Amino acid sequence: MKKWLTILVLIGTFVSAQAEPNPWIEPPLTTERNFPVPRPDVVPEIPAAHGSYPAYAIEWWYWVGHLRAAETDEQFGFQSTVFRRAAGPDAGDAEDTAQCGDDQLFMSHAGLSDLTAGRYTHVERIYRGGWQAHSAEGQLDLAAGPIMAMENGQGGFSMTVSYPDDSRLELTLTPTKPMVSFGDRGLSRKGADPAAVSWYWSYSRKAVRGQLWRNGEATAVEGVAWMDHEISSSQLGSNLAGWDWTAIQLDDGTEVKAYRLRENDGGMDPWSACYWIDEAGEVSYVYADRFEWREIDAWTSDDTGLTYPTSVDIVARHPDTDIIRTYRLRPLLDEQEFRGNRAENPYWEGACEVLDENGDRIGLAYLELAGYGGGLAAQLAQ
Amino acid sequence: MTTTATRSAPEPNDPPDGTTGALAVNQLRKSYGAVEVLHGVDLDVQPGERVALMGPSGSGKSTLLNCICGIEPADAGQILISGADLTKMNAAELERTRRESIGYVFQSFHLLPTLTARENVEFPGQLIGLAARERRERAGALLDQVGMSHRAEHLPDALSGGERQRVALARAVMNSPRLVLADEPTGSLDSVIGDQVLELLQTISDELNIALLLVTHDTDCARICHRTVRLHDGRIAKPD
Amino acid sequence: MPSFVSSPIWRVAFALLTKSTLRHWGQAKGSYLLIIAIVALGVGSLNGIRQASRAATANFGLFNEAISGRSDFLIEAPAGPIRETQLPGLAPLSRQPDWHLLPVIEGPFTQVSADGEPQRLLRLIGLDLVAVANLPTFIDREFAFGQAESRWNDWVGAAPRVWISSSLAADSGLKVGDSLRGAVGGRMHELEVAGMLGDADNPVPEDLLIADLPAAQAILTRVGEIDRIEAVVNDRAARQSPARMAEIEDRVRALLPEGLVFRAAAERIAERADMTAAFRLNLTILSLIAILVGAYLILQALDTAVVRRRAELATLKSLGVGQRALFLTLMLESLLIGTLGSILGLGVGVLLASGAVHLLADTVNALYFATSVEAIRMSGVDIATGLAVGIGFSLFAGLLPARDAMFTPPAQILSRGDWSPGFVWLRRPWTGLALVGAGLLCLLLPPLPLAGGARLPLGGFLAAGCGIIGAALLSGQTLVWIARACQRVAVGAATKLALSRLADGSSRHRLAVAGLVVAVAMVTGMVQMVGSFRVSIERWFDVRFQAELYVSERTAGGASAVNGIAPEVLQAVTTGPAVTFADTLYISPVGAPSGRTYLGGVDLGAWSGRVAQIWIKDPGALAPAADAQPAFISETFARRFDLMEGGKITLATPTGSRDVTPIGIYADYGNEFGSAVIAAEVWKQWIQADRAINTSLYLQPGTDANVVRDALRLRFPGLEIRNAQELRTLALGIFEQTFRVTSALNGIGLTVAIVGLALGLFSLFAESAGTWATLRRIGFPAKSFALTAGVEGAGIALAAWLSGTFVGLCLGWLLIYVINVQSFGWTLVWHLPVGAFLGLGASLVVFGFLAGALTGAWHRRGLS
């Protein structure tokens, strides 16, 4: 019996070892280019966590949200992203006060989906750190091209995003749930490369109020938003062609975040993950082996000719309840393709509704489909 | 000499009705400065009649001719071409008269050097606005009549003196004028050719009933004319 | 087809055109091709000058257009540069995605060869090489500075690296990684060639150097400064909508912070165009004069053709073709000549422009601002202008021959003997007298102010035009007087015959004289002006430039090709042991009540004493106004701003509006916008700069200036150091350069007039065929024919030279005392190059004789 028990334990150990396809990989202190790599077990402190980490190679602040006009039926979706890229590992040594600096590069992407009129507006700008773009340390004070965001002194952020034809959004975003930190020991991993980790801090739900200015007239809007702030020095493994990512805000007050890292050969990278955030802000997650990303339908862009799987079903087994959940994402507007200044790297980022198995709406989501026009890995590798 | 059987020819002028002559000059006077060249000249030419105007140099023949075709204004008197009084016409009317009612044959031919023989003949028709087809037919008939059809496409440079004068003759009658003025038409030609040209003048005058006033100092030329008028010191001499 | 075309007159005219005129053309192809060529040359000259001057002055300042595309707006400081510290204030403006803001700095960079000789002047432009990648044009043209975005900072920053044009690279044999050596502000630099820009499909100006903004600031030693911010509207379709652009302009203005001014780019182009307005207008007027003389030639040529066809015209008259029909036929011929010549002239214009553009660009460079030559372009306006001018002048020139033709008597009259058209009006002096009178009245007109501060002496030009033509019409009488005077002493049958014909003063003789008088007057007047200018400048040099050595930045030349001498370099130069005194000049453009002018900083005390000047008003002669900075002002400045008797003027400087008051007026032929000089220390405060433009060194007595010069050259290879003689040679070289175009046009005008004389003589003799025939019958020898014709030609030339010289002297006075003063505001010393005048006269008389003799001999042969 004892022998069988030993064998069973051994077999059990082996099986349980096999059942953990995403073991902990200790990240190095620096990347090959000597950028610091985010450390594990770092607890983000407010407000410094909102500010910039200039020594790290790559950083972005990302907001998506769903708005409705307070007095009409109009509905909107918005996406505002500021990317920062450091010139070199010494970029964060001292503050670059030059008006045309050469330490940091900023790229801003602003998209606005008018879901009622069926119109999508987007703008990209690239600036060096200086008078046209900056990100302060210690708190959120960010400006890059058309996007400006800062602490408003009342626990939230104020954000102004300018669009073509003198349109702009002026929003106040106030977290309604605590900030979450994704990943094992506070590190979100995107690949097997030891340095492929990031601090990934999000507000999964923020109340939004503000105004949308169009043709000199303001429309009061309100809604809900999601914010990500990610800091790393190396992201994707070179085996990756791109990613599909979604932030789901369910009507029951919980959120789901999922992303599929697509390998060059078409498979799903094992570090793909699905996260649940409950009402209290507690996070549970599974990796690729415990959820599926099913492409249901696609849309082809007339401008770029690229085809995006914009209707997807995410089927995941909740790690705590073991219940299989199905989230059906359907785009609220087909044409939400973000095309930058050059034709090199368009992606689809759009507002979606979330349906359950029965086809009933259970929430809203933003879906991002990147890398369908070419390899993004080189863009984000350091 | 060919006849006009095969092509349409200009219509002969109406026979005289006894009241309207082709040319009537009454008491014409003309001076150059203090010198009076024409002293009250009277001259009548009936339609179809051929009159030779003779006289010594300086008698006023050229002046009389210039007055009759309206180039020089008369000081006094009357010049009637088929009843129209030239002395009362303005410059435009005189030009029109020269185009439509008077033909002129020069001693030195005066063909237009860049036009072919046919084009030279057609030219007066062009001036009065004849349709192209009619112009061509008429000119063709006239060239036939003067024996120049075979040289119709040649430029004047390529024609002999006699040939040029034949073309000039055809040109002069293209518009069926009432009156043809010929100023020494054979003066630049040898006698044989000159005779041929005179015969043509006679034939055309008969067939088309055109009056002819022929200025010449050669009595031989006057043989084709019905009568001779002599101008002496600016006056018409009484017939012998 | 219009109804008039079927009317009898038009019908006859078209018939004559096709059957007679064009066939004559076929028979005399050479003559008609020549006439068409004359029209083409005239149109080509006018269009060529216009296109060349446009191309030479178009591409100024906004050199980066090839990279960033056409800018729509500019943001500038009211005076001087923008400080970088002002940029954050523009951040709200920068955030708007409807436009892009591009800070730009630029300056001259003199490429220097391995042995230190300046090779060429390049334009260094500093741009934000990251932000420029947002611009639609930049994206379209697929420019790229770096190889991959992940290493973006490798090619930006303050390190001295530049991108050069492919054509410069090919020309200089440079490749990526090589070193480009050159001088800025007296200092030498080695710049790394980081890449090439442009190709056949996307050309960039050859002399363009692009650097990242911080790098350019460092090279130009202007850290923290920006010249302007260019705004490019993102939606290119919006540019076509004035309403959209107006809306964008309003938004930009609303967001513009204090201390910066907004300017539409078109204004800047207009401002630069205004700077050269007077220069270009002068050129255009000169080319119009060339056309006028060309029209005279066409007139002569067409008239010759009429004379040749006289017998035919007489026949037509006798056949009953009316006067109006003949007139119309000749005018249609002129129209055809004008049209064909104009079309050909458009192409000739492009060729001439290509040849002249570099000449003009050199002149603009020397006098006004640095410019880079743009490709010659023919616009719709050029085509319309060329056709209008060519056809217009041909019709104008054809009027007289057409009139001549319509009055041809019928053949019956013509055969009597020689006949010539009356041109009665040429014999009547009233037209000429009226024009001369009108010209005198025009002198009373004040100058027309042009935008930018220049002035057009409209009255002067009108007076010159009326005077020349009026005098030309009266000049026939000169011919008659000369001939009658000479008749008394003439010997020989041929000479007496010629003089009798001249004394008769036929209309054709008068016409021939009139045409030549215009050209002689023009040349004489211009020669005086250029000569007077030269003498004045030499005199100014003798007085003003007394120092032993002259130091300036090393540059390939040009009015704004200066960055200034770096202060530490200046300090080292002026405190050398051999130097007793340095007259240092600081200068900066400043805003004036109308347009711009220059403010200088000098040692005022030295200027009142040891530094010699030609004083128009001595120091102290003018009472200074209260509360204003005392200044010496140039004569141009004084006339332009009405300060000849003193007063006060407010100038816009980088530190605000400042008042200056004149205490003396000096002569200065350096620039036409005027300058005022104040105490150097005050200048530095006002302008917030400390780079001198030049310094003149006075050395210890007995010092060998050339030894000091050579030592300084060795020590400061970035500086140009010349002794007095070298400076004089340089300045006079620039002077010669600026008048090259004038000389060329003079040459064209004179050539055309001489050919016109030959044609005029031809017509003259052709109309005398009867006379020649008679002379031949009575045994007039062939040699005597030539002599008679030669004396006639010489007589016409002599009369034209005498009349033309007199008129030219008046024109010279006008140019110097009226036109120059009103245009440029400076007084010149009137200089009469008597030798040149006499030489011109002798040449004309000899040529007139030869032309006459040859033409006469040709006619004589034709009688055989």
| Residues of chain C neighbouring B100 (CB-CB closer than 8 A) | 320
- B94: helix, coil or strand? helix
CATH number of the domain encompassing residue A167 = 2.40.370.10
- Chain A residue with the nearest C-alpha to that of C88: A131
- Chain B residue with the nearest C-alpha to that of C12: B127
d(CA C271, CA C276): 9
H-helix or E-strand spanning residue C505: none
Given the DSSP bridges, would you call strands B179-183 and B102-105 parallel, antiparallel or unpaired? Answer: parallel
- Chain C residue with the nearest C-alpha to that of A146: C95
Does the beta-carbon distance from A128 to C130 stay under 8 Å? yes
Say yes or no: A227 and A89 in one domain.
yes
Residue C427 located in a structural domain = no
- Of C352, C381, C416, the residue that ends a domain is C416
Range of the domain at A86: 30-235
- Of C688, C716, C744, the residue that ends a domain is C716
**Among partner residues C97, C158, C212, which is closest to A123 by beta-carbon distance?**
C97
Q: What is the pLDDT of residue A7?
A: 44
The residue with greater pLDDT, C679 or C289, is: C679
What separation in angstroms does the CA of B1 have from each of A41, A164, B175, B204, C46? 132, 95, 21, 11, 64
Using a 10 angstrom Cβ sphere, with 0-12 exposed, 13-18 middle and 19 or more buried, the burial of residue C627 is exposed
Instruction: Enumerate residues 6+ apart whose C-beta is below 8 A from C618.
Output: C664
Distance from CA of A195 to the nearest CA of C (A): 17
What separation in angstroms does the CA of A203 have from each of A64, A84, A225, A292, C109? 11, 20, 8, 25, 54
Find the DSSP H helices in chain B: 61-68, 91-100, 117-127, 132-145, 161-172, 191-208
Q: What is the pLDDT of residue A151?
A: 94
Say yes or no: A169 and A214 in one domain.
yes
Does the beta-carbon distance from B92 to C23 stay under 8 Å? no
**Among partner residues C94, C134, C157, which is closest to A126 by beta-carbon distance?**
C134
B62–C contact, CB cutoff 8 A:
yes
The string of DSSP letters for A64-130 reads EEEEEESSSS-EEEEEEEEEEEESSTTTTSS----TEEEEEEEEEEEEEEETTTTEEEEEEEEEEEE
- The residue among B74, B44, B22 whose CA lies nearest residue B234 is B74
pLDDT tens digits, one per residue of B139-195 = 999 999 999 999 999 999 899 999 999 999 999 999 999 899 999 998 888 888 888
Given the DSSP bridges, would you call strands B227-232 and B50-54 parallel, antiparallel or unpaired? Answer: parallel
Say yes or no: A125 and A231 in one domain.
yes
Residue A21 located in a structural domain = no
Taking a C-beta distance cutoff of 8 angstroms, is the pair B79, B25 a contact? Answer: yes
d(CA C442, CA B189): 65
Residue C194 located in a structural domain = yes
Using a 10 angstrom Cβ sphere, with 0-12 exposed, 13-18 middle and 19 or more buried, the burial of residue C428 is exposed
Distance from CA of C175 to the nearest CA of A (A): 25
Residue A12 located in a structural domain = no
Say yes or no: C482 and C559 in one domain.
no
- Of A235, A261, A284, the residue that ends a domain is A235
Q: What is the pLDDT of residue A248?
A: 97
| CB count in 10 Å sphere of residue C284 | 14
H-helix or E-strand spanning residue C422: none
What stretches of A233-306 adopt beta strand conformation (E)?
A: 240-250, 255-263, 273-277, 283-287, 291-300
Interface residue ranges in chain C relative to chain B, Cβ cutoff 8 Å? 8, 11-12, 15, 19-20, 23-24, 27, 311-312, 314-316, 318-323, 409-413, 415
Q: What is the pLDDT of residue C198?
A: 76
- Chain C residue with the nearest C-alpha to that of B112: C312
Distance from CA of C198 to the nearest CA of A (A): 19
Say yes or no: A210 and A354 in one domain.
no
**Among partner residues A130, A131, A341, which is closest to C139 by beta-carbon distance?**
A341
- C293: helix, coil or strand? helix
- C815: helix, coil or strand? helix
Residue C126 located in a structural domain = yes
Number of residues in chain B: 240
Confidence of residue B6 (pLDDT cuts 50, 70, 90): very low
Tokens read off for A38: 């985010």
Does the beta-carbon distance from A341 to C213 stay under 8 Å? no
- Of A208, A235, A262, the residue that ends a domain is A235
- The residue among C847, C840, C740, C821 whose CA lies nearest residue C286 is C740
Say yes or no: C456 and C567 in one domain.
no
Does the beta-carbon distance from B106 to C19 stay under 8 Å? no
Say yes or no: C460 and C587 in one domain.
no
Residue C72 located in a structural domain = no
Residue C266 located in a structural domain = no
Site from B115, B123, B171, B180 to mutate, C interface, most C CB atoms within 10 angstroms: B123
Residue A25 located in a structural domain = no
B76–C contact, CB cutoff 8 A:
no
Tokens read off for A275: 């996260």
Say yes or no: A62 and A202 in one domain.
yes
Does the beta-carbon distance from C413 to B71 stay under 8 Å? yes
Residues 92-131, chain B: which have Cβ within 8 Å of C?
92, 95-100, 104, 106, 108, 110-115, 119, 123-124, 126-127, 129
What stretches of C258-340 adopt beta strand conformation (E)?
A: 261-264
All domains of chain B in start order, with CATH: 23-236 (3.40.50.300)
Residue A223 located in a structural domain = yes
Number of domains in chain A: 2
The string of DSSP letters for B5-58 reads SSS--PPPPPPP-SS--SEEEEEEEEEETTEEEEEEEEEEE-TT-EEEEE--TT
Site from C90, C100, C130, C154 to mutate, A interface, most A CB atoms within 10 angstroms: C130
| CB count in 10 Å sphere of residue C18 | 11
Q: How many CA atoms lie within 13 A of C843 on its CB side?
A: 10
Say yes or no: C437 and C384 in one domain.
no
Say yes or no: A48 and A192 in one domain.
yes
Say yes or no: A62 and A172 in one domain.
yes
Say yes or no: C387 and C511 in one domain.
no
Max alpha carbon distance in chain A (Å)?
83
Say yes or no: A150 and A51 in one domain.
yes
pTM for the full model?
0.64
Say yes or no: A244 and A190 in one domain.
no
Site from A100, A141, A235, A339 to mutate, C interface, most C CB atoms within 10 angstroms: A100
Taken in order C377, C378, C379, C385, the sign of the CA dihedral is positive
d(CA C593, CA C590): 10
Cα C794 to chain centroid, rounded: 34
Say yes or no: C582 and C665 in one domain.
yes
Tokens read off for C377: 């372009």
pLDDT tens digits, one per residue of C420-439 = 665 666 667 788 889 889 98
| CB count in 10 Å sphere of residue C740 | 14
Determine the average pLDDT of the residues in C18-41: 85
Type of residue numbered C311 = A
Q: Is the pLDDT of residue C153 over 50?
A: yes
Say yes or no: C622 and C582 in one domain.
yes
Q: What is the pLDDT of residue C5?
A: 57
Q: Is the pLDDT of residue A337 over 90?
A: yes
Say yes or no: C752 and C828 in one domain.
yes
Say yes or no: A115 and A145 in one domain.
yes
Instruction: Enumerate residues 6+ apart whose C-beta is below 8 A from C491.
Output: none
Say yes or no: C242 and C316 in one domain.
no
- Of A180, A208, A235, the residue that ends a domain is A235
| Residues of chain C neighbouring A379 (CB-CB closer than 8 A) | 149-150
Q: Is the pLDDT of residue B129 over 70?
A: yes
Max alpha carbon distance in chain C (Å)?
103
C224: left (phi over 0), alpha (psi -120 to 50) or beta: left
**Given a contact as 3+ CB pairs under 8 Å, which chains touch C?**
A, B
Say yes or no: C765 and C673 in one domain.
no
**Among partner residues B110, B111, B115, which is closest to C19 by beta-carbon distance?**
B115
Q: What is the pLDDT of residue C729?
A: 83
What separation in angstroms does the CA of B193 have from each of A195, B54, B160, B165, C271? 122, 21, 10, 10, 83
- Tell me the backbone φ, ψ of residue C301, rounded to 5 degrees: -65, -45
Residue C510 located in a structural domain = yes
Residue A205 located in a structural domain = yes
d(CA A111, CA C605): 67
Confidence of residue B52 (pLDDT cuts 50, 70, 90): very high
Question: Tokens 């149109």 label which residue?
Answer: C43
Lowest mean pLDDT among A13-17, A361-365, C67-71, C249-253: A13-17
- Chain B residue with the nearest C-alpha to that of C323: B92
Rounded (10°) CA dihedral C458, C461, C465, C471: 120
Interface residue ranges in chain A relative to chain C, Cβ cutoff 8 Å? 85, 87-88, 98-100, 102-103, 105, 110, 123, 125-128, 130-132, 143, 145-146, 148, 160, 162-166, 341-342, 378-379, 381-382
Cα A121 to chain centroid, rounded: 20
Say yes or no: A284 and A193 in one domain.
no
Taking a C-beta distance cutoff of 8 angstroms, is the pair C447, C459 a contact? Answer: yes
Determine the average pLDDT of the residues in A330-338: 96
| Residues of chain B neighbouring C310 (CB-CB closer than 8 A) | none
d(CA C101, CA C256): 12
Confidence of residue A18 (pLDDT cuts 50, 70, 90): very low
Asked whether the bond before C97 is cis by omega within 30 degrees of 0, the reply is: no
**Among partner residues C90, C134, C157, which is closest to A125 by beta-carbon distance?**
C134
- Of C227, C259, C291, the residue that ends a domain is C259
Say yes or no: C290 and C156 in one domain.
no
Range of B12-26, C510-524, C707-721, C839-853 with top mean pLDDT? C839-853
pLDDT tens digits, one per residue of C159-186 = 899 999 888 898 889 999 999 999 887 7
Number of domains in chain C: 4
What separation in angstroms does the CA of C830 have from each of A317, A330, C358, C459, C532? 104, 90, 31, 20, 5
Q: Is the pLDDT of residue C372 over 70?
A: no
Site from B99, B109, B112 to mutate, C interface, most C CB atoms within 10 angstroms: B112
- B171: helix, coil or strand? helix
pLDDT tens digits, one per residue of C107-145 = 888 888 887 777 888 889 999 999 988 888 777 766 666
H-helix or E-strand spanning residue C109: strand C99-112
Tokens read off for C494: 């041929």
Lowest mean pLDDT among A22-31, A245-254, C25-34, C556-565: C556-565
Q: Is the pLDDT of residue C364 over 70?
A: no
Three-state SS annotation for B71-83:
CCCCCEEEEEECC
| Residues of chain B neighbouring C320 (CB-CB closer than 8 A) | 95-100, 124, 127
Taken in order C396, C401, C402, C406, the sign of the CA dihedral is positive
Three-state SS annotation for C649-716:
EEEEECCEEEEEEEEEEECCCCCCCCEEEEEHHHHHHHHCCCCECEEEEEECCCCCHHHHHHHHHHHC
Site from C9, C18, C412, C416 to mutate, B interface, most B CB atoms within 10 angstroms: C412
Say yes or no: C193 and C254 in one domain.
yes
| Residues of chain A neighbouring C157 (CB-CB closer than 8 A) | 102
Range of the domain at C130: 78-259
Residue A331 located in a structural domain = yes
Site from B104, B110, B118 to mutate, C interface, most C CB atoms within 10 angstroms: B110
| Residues of chain C neighbouring A341 (CB-CB closer than 8 A) | 133-134, 139
Q: Is the pLDDT of residue C529 over 60?
A: yes
Taking a C-beta distance cutoff of 8 angstroms, is the pair C7, B125 a contact? Answer: no
